[in-house]
């Protein structure tokens, strides 16, 4: 009896999945999203450990093919990292307050290409440009900026679509050096983004 019930449920799920996956993607979508960032600054001046921040914003998606979409977003991204024990020794302009969390707050603009083999799964990849709105000038003396104003990165990940909800997991790789103190060492953001999105249109 249990085997028959299990077989029925599997068959029902397969039928619903097949029917739903054969539907065309909507021509246009608009929604909101939010979640957590698990990031670090890659460089010897920082601890090699991931810290938690958050992301919040809006997304749109425009269908450009049967299974393809272009998805621009506007996000507020908080990246958190921790300085290394010898941060002030590696950076002569730095204060001596080591082992502190560094919060980098960006207004980020990803532009993603999305491919949906079915309506349930979407693969996403594309560039992201971030505008730094918190320069952490308290890391260094004389008001000198520790981090550059802009951050260019690449994103890649998977999105699970359930009705109007979207579960999103991405990996972020920084491409440019964000160190604004000197050219002795390269700092790059990297980490994971986990988000929940809601389609409102």
List pLDDT tens digits, range 75-84. 999 999 988 8
Task: Classify residue 13 by burial, with Cβ atoms within 10 Å: 0-12, 13-18, 19+.
Answer: exposed
**DSSP label of 92:** T
The band of 141, judged by pLDDT with boundaries at 50, 70 and 90, is low
The pLDDT score that the predictor gives to residue 88 is 72
| Residue 40: its H or E element | strand 28-42
| Residue 2: its H or E element | helix 2-21
pLDDT at 167 exceeding the cut of 90 = yes
Hey, where are the domains in the chain?
26-199
In this predicted model, what pLDDT tens digit does every residue of 36-56 receive, in sequence order?
Answer: 999 999 999 899 999 999 999
Q: Which CATH number does the domain 26-199 belong to among 3.30.1310.10, 2.60.40.10, 2.40.160.20, 3.40.630.10?
A: 2.40.160.20
Separation in Å, CA 97 to CA 40, 87, 102: 19, 9, 11
- Overall residue count recorded for the chain in this entry: 201
Strand partners for 60: 30
- Check: pTM over 0.85? Answer yes or no: no
Cα distance between residue 144 and residue 139, in whole Å: 9
User: In angstroms, how far is the first alpha carbon of the chain from the final one?
Assistant: 44
pLDDT at 131 exceeding the cut of 90 = yes
């Amino acid at each position: 009896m249990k085997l028959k019930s299990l077989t029925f449920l599997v068959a029902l799920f397969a039928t619903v999945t097949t029917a739903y996956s054969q539907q065309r993607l909507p021509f246009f979508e608009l929604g909101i999203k939010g979640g957590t960032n698990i990031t670090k600054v890659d460089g010897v001046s920082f601890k090699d450990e991931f810290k938690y921040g958050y992301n919040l914003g809006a997304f749109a998606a425009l269908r450009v093919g049967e299974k393809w979409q272009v998805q621009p977003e506007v996000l507020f991204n908080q990246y958190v990292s921790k300085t290394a024990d010898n941060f002030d020794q590696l950076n002569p302009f730095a204060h001596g307050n080591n082992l502190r969390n560094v919060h980098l707050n960006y207004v980020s603009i990803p532009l993603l290409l999305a491919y949906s083999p079915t309506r349930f799964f979407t693969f996403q990849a594309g560039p992201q440009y971030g505008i730094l709105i918190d320069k952490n000038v308290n890391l260094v003396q004389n008001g000198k900026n520790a981090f550059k104003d802009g951050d260019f990165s690449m994103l890649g990940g998977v999105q699970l679509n359930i009705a109007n909800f979207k579960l999103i997991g991405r990996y972020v790789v920084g491409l440019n050096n964000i160190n604004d103190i000197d050219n002795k060492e390269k700092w790059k953001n990297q980490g994971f983004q986990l988000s929940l999105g809601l389609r409102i249109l």
